[in-house]
Structure 1
Amino acid sequence: MKKWEYRLVSEPPSSGMIEAIINNLGKEGWELVSSYFIPEESTPGIKSERIYCIFKRPK
């Protein structure tokens, strides 16, 4: 049976870094299997946004 390792990356969309992160992880053998966007309110009245990406690669 194949074994996998997983990695979760989160980044605010405003950073502009998500594409570079995905490309760099792809070069390291990571495959993007899921991504989702979550608006967050970490401090009352202050809204922030994050993109979460889940990657996997064989162990």
Structure 2
Amino acid sequence: MNPRWQKSSYCSEGASCVHISNGPATIHLTESADPTRAILNATPQGFRALLHTLKLDKAPSRV
């Protein structure tokens, strides 16, 4: 596997960064500060669910 990685737009220079790459039917995620260079693989549906959950968590509370 030789994915083409894209750095998160939320990453500042020199900071630990999340990188993403897509392959046929798979999304790959990695974090630059991880010494093991682990790669998380997800389906597009799973990745969409992750993003949806993260956005819900950041949404302001409604009263």
Q: Which has the higher strand share?
A: 1
TM-score class, shorter-chain normalisation, is under 0.3
Q: TM-score, normalised by structure 2?
A: 0.26
Higher relative contact order (CA 8 A, sep 6+): 1
